[in-house]
Structure 1
Amino acid sequence: MCGIHGIYRFDGLSVEPGILSAMGERTRHRGPDDEGSHLDGPCGIAMRRLSIIDLAGGHQPLSNADGSLWLVCNGEIYNYRELRRELQDKGYRFKTGSDCEVLLHLYDAEGDEFIQRLNGMFDFALWDARRHRLLIGRDRLGVKPLYVLHDWQRLAFASEAKALLALPGISAELDREVLADYLHLGYVAAPGCIFKGIRKLPPATLLAVEAGEVREWRYWRLPDRCIPGVSESEWRDRVRAQLDESVRMQMVSDVPIGAFLSGGVDSSAVVGLMARHSEQPIRTYAIGFTGGEAETLYNELPHARRVAELFATEHREILVRPDVVSLLPKLLWHMDEPLSDTAFITTFLVSEFAREDVKVILSGVGGDELFGGYRRYLGGHYAQRYRNLPRWLRSLASLAAARLPADRHAGLLNRMRLAKGFIASAEMSADERYRSYLQVLDRQAVAALLTEPRGQASDPLTRAFAAAGNGDELNRMFAVDVETQLPDDLLLLTDKMSMAVSLECRVPLLDHQLVELAASIPAAVKVRDGRLKSLLKLALADLLPDDILNRQKRGFGTPMGAWLKRELAPLLRRLLAPSVVEARALFHSPLVERLIADHEANRIDGTDILLALLNLEVWSRIYLDRRDPADVAEELRSYVA
């Protein structure tokens, strides 16, 4: 696990080692244990290493016997032992015990197709000196991020965008072309990036530079065909077996290992299966809140304790309060890009907490996407029933719903918010209904908010639906999630916030074999009779008790919307004051004022869009105004003192 970076110069001049060092300094947090580089004329590759496997001998870059192939790799290859034995049988000799060394010899044996043999989370750069060819790539699901800058002079890459800002002639500029997508979804989807001139390499993608030519291609896509004729009990057994194998494989480590535990189905399943594969108690870490109704809704500590007691883990907890807002500048510096998902705050805090004990953590990220755990997956199920009602009754319900108050942080108002959203979308097409559930702000409202609206270019969801195939509605939504929200929101924040404290976070529920299995299961089996995750719960029935399997789902975020009305109201008003908004000249300030007022009056639940705007302003002060995050943090503290 580490951060990688490198440069290929098209003009044939040698890469300057000082530039590689400057890039590495920006990502020292990703690899505090070691650093290394290899320069060969126009190409230079480098890394910062967090030692997990082969602590003494796994220094990178790695090379083959004759020095014709060089590699830097960020991540873990979980099936490296099997691949290593196979390659040794073919005569390949290994210099180290590192899991990443298999990439060198597998590439030598099979060429670019070697990528199909890997099971893991990774990004890598491989320099083939024989062909003067640079090959970079990213894992199938996009667990590990990779940013690319390509201009007339060079192609540069890095695990974090901030490393590319260390290049000569490059400065931080906002890309207004992606601003509309950011406001629409609350994050920037690949290949977009908030920095002008930089982009994300999409998941499951390889990029090669050879003889001055750049070629990029996709090597894997989610299967879009369900397998008919398989009984529910057979699916249950297949899912359980693959879950068990995924967790077992991802527990390999030469350093202490632990698990995030919320008490939800996914994290509880990971902990339960880890306990079955460990002779020592599993170390678990949970996060919670104390306070009023909003905090109670988000507090999952009692459920986490229940699971910890069940599997006799070494359990630790941390409580979060509104004063964590002073962390925003530091966290947004680490994130590289702003986002509206408050899970980046809780993920950082629990990662920092866990790093006191362990270097590797397992997370339950991905289970909701694979097995139908979000309420939006029931939209079609209930929309069909709703459309069977008389038209006059639906019209009356629509008028009434539009007047309902909304607040996700209060029990009754949250139910009204959900009802309001469902009725407003019930007669839309499946694709547009899904969009309405995910969007932070609808496209018309985004266009009105922007001072420079974007043209008619397609947005990430439109592109993802076009590529999603013709499967059933649930699996089409799953395919879109895998292309958009999963890699560019959930996995991005998981990587950036865990690596901010030099912690490796693994996601066994996103083992690609388990993902392919889930994609082949018909919707009616995964979500039966309107019961979310029904198949997964069936597969875990002998592992987890009913009160954990059937508890109400909560997101891994914070009650930020409630805090913005109370403790953090001064912060919101100062950061989004008309004078600040008008100085940035990105948004129409009267519309921002209206969003704040409507949120405070519960006319809308504006948590996500207000956080998108607030976090963009904090990000702008750090990257565009070039202010030190500590200085911005002090300013924020003064606002809420």
Structure 2
Amino acid sequence: MCGIHGIYQLDGQRVEPAHLTAMGDVTAHRGPDDEGQHIDGNCGIAMRRLSIIDLAGGHQPIGNADGSLVLVCNGEIYNFRELRAELQAKGYRFKTGSDSEVLLHLYDAEGDDCVKRLNGMFDFALWDGRRRRLLIGRDRLGVKPLYVMQDGKRLAFATEAKALLKLPGARVALNREAVPGYLHLGYVAAPQTIFEGIRKLPPATLLSIENGQVREWRYWRLPSRIERGWSRDEWLQRTRAQIERSVEMQMVSDVPIGAFLSGGVDSSAVVGCMAKHSDHPIRTYAIGFEGGEAEALYNELPYARQVAKLFGTEHHEIVVKPDVVGLLPRLVWHMDEPVSDTAFITTYLVSEFARQDVKVILSGVGGDELFGGYRRYLGGHYARKFGRLPAPLRKLAGMAAARLPADRHSGLLNTLRLAKGFVASAEMDPDARYRSYLQVLSHDTVAQLLHAPRSALADDALAHAFAAAGHDDELNRMFAVDAETQLPDDLLMLTDKMSMAVSLECRVPLLDHELVELAAAMPADVKIAGGQLKHLMKASLGDLLPQDILHRKKRGFGTPMGAWLKKELAPVLRGLLSPAVLHRRGLFDADVVTQLVADHEANRIDGTDALIALLNLEVWSRLYLDGRDHADVADELHHLANGATAVPA
């Protein structure tokens, strides 16, 4: 695990070592154990290393025997031992025990198709000196990020966007074309980024430069064929076996390893499988919040303790009342791009806690997408029931629902919030209904905020993902859309950035691509039966986890941010989104923002995600556009929290 970066000079100039060093210095948190670079004329590749496998011999860049091939690789290749044995049988000789060297020789043996043989999470850069060719790539699901910046003189890449900003001539500017999509979804979907002139390499994508020509292509896509010939028992057996195999494979490490444990189905399944394949107690880490009703809704510590006791783990937990004001600028800086998902705060805090003991952590991220764990996946199920009601009754329900209060941080009001959203979308077509569940701000509201025509916002990342999904199976169509958008560009992005901010490698065994392919082939009526979320997955774990864990009420891995915005963070919110600040920044209609704040505070809407999206974009602007240090911005936010007036942007 590390951070990689590099430069290919399209104009033929030699790469300067100092430029690579500057890129590595700003991402030292990703690899505090080692660093290295390789320059061959107009191409230079480099890395910062967090040592996980082959601690002594895994230095990078790593080259083959004659130095004609040189590689830097971020992440882990879990099937490297099997591939290594296969390559040794073909006569390849290895000088290290690292997983990265396997990729180097596999490329020599099979060319670009080598990436199809890899099971892992990775991004890499490989310099083929014989052909004067650079090849960079990213794993199938996009667990590891990779940014690219290209102009007429060079193409540069890096695991974090901030490294690219250290290059001479790099200009920091807001990508205004990305703003509507960001406001709509709460994250910037690939290939765009929030930075003008920088893009993301999409998941499962390779990019090559040879003879001055840049070529980019996908090497894997989520399968679209549904397997209808297997019995329920076959699905149960295959799912359980693949989950166990994925977890066991990802336990490989030469350093201490642990697991996040919330007490939910996904993290509990991972911990249970780890315990089964370990000869010593698994270290587990859980987090809870101090406070009132809102904080209590996010406190899953009793469930985590139950699972920890069941599997005899070495359990650690932390109860926090985080200094969000002080944390926010630093975390937004680490994220590179703003997001509305407050799970980035929780992920950072529990990662920081776990890093005191371990260098590698396993997470249950991805189980909800694979096996149908989100309430939004039941939209079609309940819409069909709603459609059987007489039209006058449906109309009356719609009018009543529109008047309901909404607040996700109160048990009753959160139920009303969900009901309000469901009724409002029940008679939409499936794609539109699903969009309504995913969106942070509607296209209409985004148009009002930006003074833009609504028609200009329709061609967005979701529209492209829906067009490419090609599923008749509604549930798996939703999964295909998530796998192209929210999963890599929100959930996996924040998981990577927040764990690596504290030099912790986070692995996601439920997103092993073979398990993903299995889940993608599963019919909807097998995944979700009778309106029960994750029906098949839960059934497959019936002898591993107790029923009260398998069937307890779902709770997201976030923070009670909506409640904090009405209380202790209210001065910060109003300060950073004041009319004076908004007018100076020149992006948004101040009246629309003021109304959003008022509607959230009055519980007319749950505006948590929308307001966090706006707030984080302003914090990002102060850090990146204004060039301020995160400690400086944190001091300003503390002053705001204490009643000071915001400094206009």
Question: Which of the five TM-score ranges fits, normalised by the shorter chain?
Answer: over 0.9
What CA distance in whole angstroms lies between the structure 2 residues aligned with 1:333 and 1:99? Answer: 30
Spell out the pairing of 1:530-609 with structure 2 (5 A cutoff).
530-609=531-610
1:261 partnered with 2:230? no
Find the residue that maps to 1:191 and give its secondary structure.
Answer: coil
What CA distance in whole angstroms lies between the structure 2 residues aligned with 1:31 and 1:297? Answer: 36
1:630 partnered with 2:631? yes
What CA distance in whole angstroms lies between the structure 1 residues aligned with 2:556 and 2:320? Answer: 15
What CA distance in whole angstroms lies between the structure 1 residues aligned with 2:290 and 2:225? Answer: 46
Query: What's the counterpart of residue 489 of structure 1?
Result: 490
Query: What's the counterpart of residue 101 of structure 1?
Result: 101
Spell out the pairing of 1:393-432 with structure 2 (5 A cutoff).
393-432=393-432
The answer to whether the 8 Å contact 1:226/1:471 transfers is no
Query: What's the counterpart of residue 616 of structure 1?
Result: 617
What CA distance in whole angstroms lies between the structure 2 residues aligned with 1:197 and 1:600? Answer: 38
Q: TM-score, normalised by structure 2?
A: 0.98
Find the residue that maps to 2:323 and give its secondary structure.
Answer: helix
What CA distance in whole angstroms lies between the structure 2 residues aligned with 1:295 and 1:303? Answer: 15
The answer to whether the 8 Å contact 1:190/1:484 transfers is yes
What CA distance in whole angstroms lies between the structure 1 residues aligned with 2:458 and 2:399? Answer: 33
Spell out the pairing of 1:196-345 with structure 2 (5 A cutoff).
196-345=196-345
What CA distance in whole angstroms lies between the structure 2 residues aligned with 1:70 and 1:453? Answer: 50
Shift of residue 298 of structure 1?
1.0
Aligned partner of 1:533: which letter?
K
Deviates more, 1:313-322 or 1:421-430: 313-322
Identity of aligned residues (%): 75
Query: What's the counterpart of residue 172 of structure 1?
Result: 172
What CA distance in whole angstroms lies between the structure 1 residues aligned with 2:637 and 2:573? Answer: 10
The answer to whether the 8 Å contact 2:407/2:605 transfers is yes
- Per-residue Cα deviation, 1:212-250 (whole angstroms, up to 9, x for no partner): 000000000000011012111110000000000000000
The answer to whether the 8 Å contact 1:71/1:125 transfers is yes
The answer to whether the 8 Å contact 2:443/2:457 transfers is no
Query: What's the counterpart of residue 61 of structure 1?
Result: 61
Find the residue that maps to 1:188 and give its secondary structure.
Answer: coil
Spell out the pairing of 1:3-42 with structure 2 (5 A cutoff).
3-42=3-42
Query: What's the counterpart of residue 522 of structure 1?
Result: 523
- Count of aligned positions: 641
Aligned partner of 2:438: which letter?
L
Aligned partner of 1:304: which letter?
A
What CA distance in whole angstroms lies between the structure 1 residues aligned with 2:28 and 2:322? Answer: 29
The answer to whether the 8 Å contact 1:34/1:59 transfers is yes
Quick one: structure 1 residues 83 and 338, their matched pair in 2 at CA, closer, same or farther if it must change by over 3 Å?
A: same
What CA distance in whole angstroms lies between the structure 1 residues aligned with 2:163 and 2:283? Answer: 33
What CA distance in whole angstroms lies between the structure 1 residues aligned with 2:476 and 2:283? Answer: 34
Aligned partner of 1:640: which letter?
A
Query: What's the counterpart of residue 646 of structure 2?
Result: none
Shift of residue 325 of structure 1?
2.8
What CA distance in whole angstroms lies between the structure 2 residues aligned with 1:98 and 1:482? Answer: 30
- Per-residue Cα deviation, 1:269-323 (whole angstroms, up to 9, x for no partner): 0001000111111000001112211111111111111111111111111122252
Deviates more, 1:286-295 or 1:504-513: 286-295
Query: What's the counterpart of residue 349 of structure 1?
Result: 349
Shift of residue 172 of structure 1?
1.4
Find the residue that maps to 2:552 and give its secondary structure.
Answer: coil
1:502 partnered with 2:503? yes
Spell out the pairing of 1:74-85 with structure 2 (5 A cutoff).
74-85=74-85
What CA distance in whole angstroms lies between the structure 1 residues aligned with 2:7 and 2:323? Answer: 41
Aligned partner of 2:150: which letter?
H
Shift of residue 567 of structure 1?
1.3
Query: What's the counterpart of residue 121 of structure 2?
Result: 121
Find the residue that maps to 1:253 and give its secondary structure.
Answer: coil
Shift of residue 456 of structure 1?
4.9
- Per-residue Cα deviation, 1:524-582 (whole angstroms, up to 9, x for no partner): 00000000000000000000001100000011000000011111111111111110111
- Per-residue Cα deviation, 1:440-481 (whole angstroms, up to 9, x for no partner): 001111011014568356100000011101230000000000
What CA distance in whole angstroms lies between the structure 1 residues aligned with 2:318 and 2:635? Answer: 24
What CA distance in whole angstroms lies between the structure 1 residues aligned with 2:472 and 2:12? Answer: 48
The answer to whether the 8 Å contact 1:232/1:525 transfers is yes
What CA distance in whole angstroms lies between the structure 1 residues aligned with 2:291 and 2:333? Answer: 29
The answer to whether the 8 Å contact 1:83/1:102 transfers is yes
Find the residue that maps to 1:467 and give its secondary structure.
Answer: helix
The answer to whether the 8 Å contact 1:322/1:568 transfers is no
Aligned partner of 1:483: which letter?
E
Deviates more, 1:455-464 or 1:546-555: 455-464
Query: What's the counterpart of residue 139 of structure 1?
Result: 139
Quick one: structure 1 residues 611 and 189, their matched pair in 2 at CA, closer, same or farther if it must change by over 3 Å?
A: same
The answer to whether the 8 Å contact 2:69/2:126 transfers is yes
Shift of residue 40 of structure 1?
0.3
Query: What's the counterpart of residue 388 of structure 1?
Result: 388
- Per-residue Cα deviation, 1:467-512 (whole angstroms, up to 9, x for no partner): 1012300000000000000000000000000000000000000000
The answer to whether the 8 Å contact 2:262/2:304 transfers is yes
What CA distance in whole angstroms lies between the structure 2 residues aligned with 1:507 and 1:325? Answer: 29
Aligned partner of 2:489: which letter?
D
Aligned partner of 2:567: which letter?
R
Query: What's the counterpart of residue 360 of structure 1?
Result: 360
What CA distance in whole angstroms lies between the structure 1 residues aligned with 2:423 and 2:452? Answer: 32
The answer to whether the 8 Å contact 1:451/1:586 transfers is no
- Per-residue Cα deviation, 1:124-163 (whole angstroms, up to 9, x for no partner): 0000001000000000000000000011111100000000
